[in-house]
Homo-oligomer: A and B are copies of this chain.
Amino acid sequence: MVGVNEKTAARTRVADAVYERLREMIFTGELSPGARLSVPALAESLDVSRSPVRDAVLRLVQERLASEEPRRGAIVASVGLAELVSIYEIREVLEGLAARLAVENAGRKLVRALKEALDEHEAATRTADLAASTEADLRFHRLIREAAGNPEVIRLLDDVQTQVRLAMRTTTVTAGPRQAIDDHRAILTAIESGDAVAAEQAARAHIFRLRSVLLRQLEGGE
């Protein structure tokens, strides 16, 4: 034995770090939609060589956080309202699926955790703590999809959320905090009662309402 094995060592890929950094820059607005992702320029500003930057940019492109045209390089993607509506159509059926599957292998623990998230969501809303409210909201959804036991659903919903976050740089979608909590309560009730079909319906209805908000924005203002 050569000594203690450091688990911290495993994660040191420069390309991964660059990828994370670029994601962060996109989500914080340091890189706006449309901004050019010049590999040499980024390499210099991040003080690494071009190779890991290239890998990271390719990864962003394939996750559609950036778009590229051959020989012209990549730019930060922008997600318009119409695309966001398309994404919410997908999110609707995927969240429905997650809720249905969650019922099928749900336990007491899930219900308890969901209740807790919902309570915190409500409390944060009462005190107008936006950050905590958002966190509890996201956690509620995350708990359900992780309980679904289908790794593909988790991955796809993570993808959806990534696109939504990007779109949020220019748009917001909320049906009002009270509506969200009521919707969540309906989902929780269905899960608690073990009614998979009702849970699917409730989850779909929740996303459907959010999508309706988007559609009104699409037709009305802007």
Contacts and interface: CB of A to CB of B under 8 A. Distances in A.
B153 A89 contact: yes
Copies in the complex: 2
Nearest to A93: B93
A5 interface: no
Interface in A146-202: 150-153, 156
B86 A150 contact: yes
Given A59-B58, A62-B59, A70 B11 contact: yes
B55 A90 contact: no
A144 interface: no
Contact of A156 (B11, B70, B83, B156): B156
Interface stretch (A34-42, A94-102, A113-121, A213-221): A94-102
Interface of A: 8, 10-11, 13, 55, 58-59, 62-63, 70-71, 83, 86-87, 89-90, 92-94, 96-97, 101, 150-153, 156
